[in-house]
Amino acid sequence: MMRKQIAAANWKMNLNAKSAEELINSLLKNSPEVKDNHLVILGVPAIFLEDVKRQIEGHDKYFVAAQDCSANKNGAYTGEISAEMLAGSGIKYVIIGHSERRQYHAESNSLLAEKVNRAIEEGIIPIFCCGESLDIREANKQNVYVEEQLKESLFHLSEEDFKNIIIAYEPIWAIGTGKTATEEQAQEIHHHIRNVISEKYGKVISGNTSILYGGSVKGNNASSIFGQADVDGGLVGGASLKADEFKQIIEGLK
């Protein structure tokens, strides 16, 4: 996959059928021009996937993403949704390893490697989340920490498979806190992530990998963060629930 600039929404566990439909309607009304190298990916609760997918039909740069998939293929796992089910419903993207899943569902790097495998087996592109907590950042150990997350969950992949990975770097201390990483902090760690990928998979693949930033991205800070050389757009929580703000974020893509 060629490197894309991506505005990805992460609705988390918000909205209902009616407010979700309204949000998509407002988003598509006078929607900003989405350039050739841009994608808009809407990470919505599983129960809305099919409806939102239907609503965005005809908008060829818009896609839906699931927010998670099971590490298992199928079987007695009540409440879980498999990658095979997502693929069967035409879903092309899945968020894997969001910090809230790591924290509240004890998802480890090795479990996430399995989720990544299940997605890839079904031809679904993982949006793989990584990022450090505040204490790790304060100890200035974020580079090593994130490197380990990538190595343990992704670096078993072949070159062919790694080409289909999207990375989202989301420092936990910036998620939902209104505290974004500075442009310099974002660029520095994104550059590091690209280097780590390059060491493993080479310059061409690392140059083609989209690395998104997440953590309090808003309409008014998107373009300056996305403007950094190694930042290829964002994964957006709170601000993706407001149509006007998310449109501004789409417009902020370089």
Applying CB under 6 A, among 67, 153, 206, 216 the residue interacting with ligand PGA is: 216
Q: Which parts of 158-187 interact with ligand PGA (CB under 6 A)? A: 170, 175-176
Is there binding between residue 215 and ligand PGA (CB under 6 A)?
yes
Query: Which tokens sit at 49?
Result: 């996937």
Query: Which tokens sit at 252?
Result: 């902020």
Query: Which tokens sit at 189?
Result: 């760690």
Contact 244, 251 (CB under 8 A): no
Angle between the N-to-C axes of helices 17-28 and 243-251, in degrees from 0 to 180, rounded to the nearest 10:
40
95: left (phi over 0), alpha (psi -120 to 50) or beta: beta
In sequence order, the β-bridge partners of residue 203 are: none
- Please indicate whether residue 170 is annotated as part of the active site: yes
Active site residue: 98, 100, 147, 190, which one?
Answer: 98
> How big is the site for ligand PGA, counted in residues (CB under 6 A)?
13
Q: Which is nearer to ligand PGA, 45 or 238 (CB)?
A: 238
Q: Which is nearer to ligand PGA, 175 or 231 (CB)?
A: 175
Size of the chain, expressed as the number of residues it contains:
254
Applying CB under 6 A, among 214, 219, 233, 252 the residue interacting with ligand PGA is: 214
Least separation in angstroms between CB 41 and ligand PGA:
12
Q: Which parts of 121-140 interact with ligand PGA (CB under 6 A)? A: none
Sign of the CA dihedral 148, 201, 64, 228?
A: positive
- Please indicate whether residue 156 is annotated as part of the active site: no
Contact 214, 237 (CB under 8 A): yes
> Among 34-42, 79-87, 198-206, 212-220, which window interacts with ligand PGA (CB under 6 A)?
212-220
| Residues recognised as catalytic | 98, 170
Query: Which residues are near ligand PGA by CB under 6 A?
Result: 10, 170, 175-176, 214-217, 235-239
